[in-house]
Structure formats: structure tokens, C-alpha cells
Amino acid sequence: MKKFFKGLFIFFEVLFVIEIIALAYFWFADPLGIVKYFNGESPAHAIVSDAAGDAVSDNPLLNTDQAAALSGLGIDPASLPTEIDASMEKCLTEAVGQARAKEIIDGVAPTAVDFFKAKDCL
């Protein structure tokens, strides 16, 4: 029984070290771009209001729902391309599928999963 608890303790120690290494990697390498939110920085929002108070996007390809969804993910819609060529559209179709790509192009707001699947296309 003593060997069992010793082995269990060692297993949890190794697991803890792996977690610390993974957290350090995600903190310092910041592959997801989220550390800035922990440091108190707020995302740049490209949603402004017009004279009527309606939200307007700085990107002509996005409607207000799409721009708001991207801003909610911490992406500045103004930094996205203002023109989409055939290779970008093909990449989007391969990343999210034909039906979902058509929905996004037609104006449905992208989800976080859609964005992370298609971020290399932009």
C-alpha cells in the first residue's frame, strides 16, 4: 500500500510540473494572444456609432454583428483585409466548410471556433 501512495504522489508531482511548464509557455510565448487581457489592457474596438447611434464598423466587408463578434474576441476589425481574393475564400472554405463559409460571407457573425480555424486565411 505504501508503494501505491508513493507512486500516486510521484504521478501528481510530475503532473504538477507539466502544468507549470505549460502555463509558463502560454504566458511567455502567448500563442493565443490573451496575456494582454490579464495585464489590464483592453482590446482595441473598431466599432463606432454614427449620428443615429447605430454601430458602424471600420471594415467595409463586415456588418455590425460580425464586427461586434470579432471585437468581442479581441480582434480589431479595422486590421482585417478590406478585400478578399479567391485564395482567401478558398482557404476559408477549407477551414470551416462550404456551408459555414457561405453563411459567414452572407453576413452571419463568426464564432470563436470559426475564427481560430480560419485565422491563417487572413
The domain in which residue 23 lies consists of 1-42
Indicate whether 98 belongs to any domain: no
**Which residues on neighbouring strands pair with residue 57, listed in sequence order?**
47
- Number of independent structural domains in the chain: 1
Residue 56: helix, strand or coil by DSSP? strand
Please list the pLDDT of the chain residue by residue as tens digits (122 residues): 899 999 999 999 999 999 999 999 988 888 877 777 776 655 544 444 444 444 455 677 777 788 777 777 777 777 788 788 888 889 989 999 999 888 888 888 888 888 888 888 87
The reply to whether 17 falls in a domain is yes
Alpha-carbon span 118 to 120, nearest angstrom: 5
Report if residue 50 sits inside a domain. Answer: no
> Could you tell me if residue 111 is inside a domain?
no
- The b-or-e profile of 27-42 (16+ CB within 10 A means b, else e) is eeeeeeeeeeeeeeee
Give domain status of residue 38, yes or no: yes
Give a yes or no: residue 30 inside a domain.
yes
Taking the complete model, does pTM exceed 0.75, yes or no? Answer: no
